[in-house]
Amino acid sequence: MSDLAAIRRNTVSVEFLSREYRISCEVSIRDHPLMDTLNDRQSQFISAENVYISPIEDPTVFLAQRAQAVVRKDQITLAILRREEDGYARSVLHRNLRQVPIVYSMTVILPGMEIRGGLKIASAAEADIVMAQGSDRFVAIYYGTATLIDNHDMQFAGGAVLVNREHAQMLFVERK
């Protein structure tokens, strides 16, 4: 296997949403989960490959296509991943929360959109940490759906939705 093939194998397809745009791309994760890369405050940007940019209100219209780009992490409202396991942070893997059933639902209100999905936490006491006390910028919602407020028919869904808490106006957690 060539070096390039080995590097390409360690990529994840992701849709980054901002207030105005959908950025569909691939991100090289190497040996760091995407969640950890997004939460790393020592870097402000994330490199992306095979980038397609479209307006959020009409994601079928491509405004641009580029082989490579960098995305400013603090401008990402959320990241949508197809598979649940692509949204795990290293701490989830170490704490063996992969097998924890989703017994809490979470709703996040962001400017122009609402996200609903499940939360993987070991106890109700962790909900406050996830919502308000944690130091991570992004929080993972599993099997989430983001709905545009102005157009409820426009939805984005994935096995994991990584939400930027700095853009959140309200967060709700409740037991299912």
> What integer best gives the mean pLDDT of the chain?
87
CA distance 155 to 98: 26
How confident is the model at residue 3, as a pLDDT? 42
pLDDT at residue 121 is higher than 80: no
The pTM for the full model equals 0.89
How confident is the model at residue 6, as a pLDDT? 40
Can 3-80 and 85-175 be said to share one CATH topology? Answer: yes
List Cβ neighbours of 136 (8 Å cut-off, separation of 6 or more): 39, 89, 165
pLDDT at residue 39 is higher than 90: yes
List Cβ neighbours of 106 (8 Å cut-off, separation of 6 or more): 115, 116, 117, 118, 119, 130, 141, 171, 172, 173
How confident is the model at residue 9, as a pLDDT? 62
Q: Please, which pLDDT band fits residue 23 given cuts at 50, 70 and 90?
A: very high
Instruction: Give the domain ranges of the chain.
Output: 3-80, 85-175
Alpha helices in the chain (DSSP H): 3-9, 34-39, 90-94, 125-128
Name which of 49, 59, 42 is nearest 8 in CA terms: 49
Architecture of domain 3-80: Roll (2.30)
The fold of the 85-175 domain, in CATH, is SH3 type barrels. (2.30.30)
pLDDT at residue 125 is higher than 60: yes
